[in-house]
Structure 1
Amino acid sequence: MPRSASRRRLWPWIVLAVVAVLLVPVAIIAVPILTHESAGQSNQQQTDERWPLSVTATGDDGRTRTLSVAGENGEPIETKALVRSERVVVSGTGFDGSQGVYVAVCVIPATAADKPGPCIGGVPSQRQEDVAAGTVQWAPSNWINADWAWRLFGARSYDDSSEGTFTAYLELGDPQGEDADCLANACGIYTRNDHTALNDRVQDVYVPVQFSE
């Protein structure tokens, strides 16, 4: 058989192999988004303390989530008098480690069925940056997701996916910026499911905050 004929027969298989290689990562990313089903509500209840540093909520999925805030060095902060550029360390436990979350200061919605927002700083950056191992990256919003595919796009991993623990590092943006107005509206330091489950409210947990003018 002529060599040229043999090559012509190989080309379709080569093309199929290339297409398969390209489709696999697309499927890994797209399938979980398209097949995700809402797990319900977070069921966070109001506490007797108006400005708590830690809140707890037991969601419809049976998980009990705790969200806590502290200063840059672990010190207590005045959540009723935050200021622009203040650094806040946000920690969570009991979250669903198989599902990504955004962490940011967001406007508290009218009802628990509504998505929190808009949020200061908008959606977290989905651009991978080259930083030294162990370097803390402070930003108005953080993205936590343990999936390797999303970490290629800039997500931070959970500290422990099985326990649903994470640490986020917020450097507070303009409380009256173009994304959100936290001087005119009640706001909170929120967790909510990332873009892979936008309509799922089960991980909407927040610590109420207020900015000083």
Structure 2
Amino acid sequence: MSKILNNDRLYLLLTFVLFVLTLLLNFYSKISYCSLIFTFLAFTVNIISESQGYKKAIKSVILCTSASFAFAILYNMKYYIYGEPLTGLIFASLLSVFISSYISLIFFLKRKLQHSFLTRNFKSLLSHAFIDGLVMSIFFTSKFPMHRVLSIFYKETAYKLVYSCLLHLFILTTFYLLKQVKVSREYLSGLNITQLNN
């Protein structure tokens, strides 16, 4: 019973983190900040799907994007780029989050038996970055000239790739250090047992 309760608490906590990240996505106009938030958003979706399953991950994404959209409508949020308000950008960014999360989750879970979490997570973050960039580029084609759209796509995707690589290296280092701590503890406990026997 407590395992189920802890699992539900973890799910609620991760869904809350996902909601906060989804909401924060629309408060920043700098590409570097949005890309960083989006990378952590994609990572959170991957953690939810790994620990809770595909259905709960999709439910969380739908809930968070819908709630963020309702919040944006309720508070009449406007998004500005280069000092000009862009209508429809908040809806496009939330739609982009949903589409990229949906496709990347399928890719993430399809490889579950073949690859470790680290490998699947990294590939999923890369696909998140590319799909989000494509969806947002489609939106921007009606707002900006093509050279600016390509520039935004390039910058956005490059930032997300860099952040994904850094996150992957951080997780890899953390897993390695945890493994070394475990090996050290086993070695030390083995020494204590042999000293007691002597």
Confirm or deny a common fold (TM above 0.5): no
Higher-RCO chain (CA-CA 8 Å, sequence separation at least 6): 1
TM normalised by structure 1 equals 0.26
TM normalised by structure 2 equals 0.27
More strand by share: 1
